[in-house]
Copies of this chain bind each other. A is one copy, B any other.
């Protein structure tokens, strides 16, 4: 009898030389790409356990439970892996409708446009909430998801 170790699915992810994999969060309803972050093995395990997105913050060098400061957690409905095993796609319900630290729905808010002077990146999506309020206004003791 062959027993499949529960960690097989984690071993099938192609972690890079830093032990990370690229993770895309996509709105489960609208299909909008909300953000891209990184996961290590522990982040992916915790994401599955909690059914909420947990990333690995490269700048802070620690696990980052998305929404831990803002309250803007991501409930994970589905997890996919790409053909090469090096990209994770999360289909999420975005708490508060704001994924970006700038207070916008999505981090992908700069569109390449062209005018007589050439190309430029233009911010085309509205700020839904002042980022100062996003972080100052969240009381994690009363608003835990």
Contact = CB atoms under 8 A, between A and B. Distances in A.
A73 to B, nearest CB: 19
A108 B120 contact: no
Contact of A118 (B4, B36, B107, B120): B4
A89 interface: yes
A112 B79 contact: yes
**Count of chain copies:** 2
Interface string A67-111: 000000000001111111001010000000000111010011111
Contact of A9 (B78, B82, B109, B118): B118
A112 B33 contact: no
Interface string A19-45: 000101010001111011000000000
B33 A120 contact: no
Interface of A: 4-6, 8-9, 12, 22, 24, 26, 30-33, 35-36, 48, 78-84, 87, 89, 100-102, 104, 107-112, 117-121
